[in-house]
Structure 1
């Protein structure tokens, strides 16, 4: 019983911050979760932790992870008003067909840039990973997105998807790391020939 009081207090403080400062709170939450997910992916892979990559994911979460989803969900709520038939379905479709492709592109490009890669390398990584990751996103994240749109209050949607995105970021970080290792291995083979 004594442990639950501090937890309720922290949740209350968090919800108060979320209500009073939604973008800042969502951005900080997204930053912490994205950096933690990247760290987790590296640890699962048994690698030495690449701090630059953890910082890149945290920076992306801070700059884009709270703001872009916040304004997207807000806009979708306004566009599809309460009187509209199949409102949640249209919100879901807009998330899957507009937001997910845009956000996937944004994340792949800027994560590469934040890891100090050149524009050319970022675009090359984007070309290799965009479609496979987007298809996987549609395949595995559509049900959580639908449940989020249907049952979670608008104020909590970004935070809820940030928590779901923790798993997605672990997957995406591992996939990006494999691509980088493969391209490094391929360039080493060409250099040795």
Structure 2
């Protein structure tokens, strides 16, 4: 007597997270660049909104600013057109440039990402945000002079362990998502630990 097989779950009985994950994986396979770009845009915008929300809660009612709805759009645009697509191609290049069979592949990947890509990507961020904010070249030069080096040092300090994990242990198709999730939590953490100007 043959054993009865388990019934296949009907689509209406599949939990929503399972459907979302399945859809994401299918899109990641069929349209990887677009999927990573949209994911980067969404997480960047949400991270910015959450950071603003935390910042507002920490300020007194009299000095609290209203939510800037244009700022998440700028971050979304940056994620859509830069973070997602560029990161996708960079991680593919990294796999070809330093495959796991090469001696010290993990260290090579990390050094390339930390010493060349991270500084260039940070510079690109400052330039694009300056343009999206409608500021001029003088403003960009001032921002770079005041903030670039300290931001790069913070990037090296905070992101190096995460990028080591990312370029060596995360499957290549999930590296952009991993970096986006880490960035989301990092910027949220920064907003929550920023000193309150009212104190």
Give the 4+ runs in structure 1 shifted more than 6 A.
Answer: 171-174
Higher RCO (C-alpha under 8 Å, 6+ residues apart) = 2
Kindly name which structure, 1 or 2, has the bigger radius of gyration based on alpha carbons: 2
Q: TM-score, normalised by structure 1?
A: 0.83
Q: Does 1:9 align with 2:27?
A: no
| Residues 54-90 of structure 1 deviation map (CA, whole Å, 9 limit, x = unaligned) | 1111111111010111111111111112321111111
| 1:162 paired residue among 177, 180, 195 | 180
Gaps of 5+ in 2: 1-11, 57-64
- Answer whether contact 2:119 2:152 (CA < 8 A) is retained: yes
More deviation in 7-16 or 112-121? 112-121
User: Which position in structure 2 is the counterpart of 1:185?
Assistant: none
More helix by share: 1
Report the Cα distance in structure 2 between the residues aligned to 1:168 and 1:111, rounded to whole angstroms: 19
Q: Which residue of 1 aligns with 2:51?
A: 41
Using the TM superposition, give the Cα deviation of residue 167 of structure 1 relative to its aligned residue in structure 2, in angstroms: 3.0
Cα shift at 1:27: 0.6
CA shift digits 1:89-136 (9 cap, x unpaired) = 111111111111111111122112112222321232122111111101
Where does residue 170 of structure 2 map in the other structure?
152
Inter-partner Cα distance in structure 1 for 2:93 and 2:24:
23
Q: What TM-score does the superposition give when structure 2 sets the normalisation length?
A: 0.80
Question: What SS does structure 1 have at the residue aligned with 2:15?
Answer: helix
2:142 matched to which residue of 1? 124
Q: Which moved more, 1:114-123 or 1:82-91?
A: 114-123
Q: Residue in 1 aligned with 2:102?
A: 84
Deviation at 1:8, TM superposition (A): 1.1
Give the count of matched residue pairs.
Answer: 176
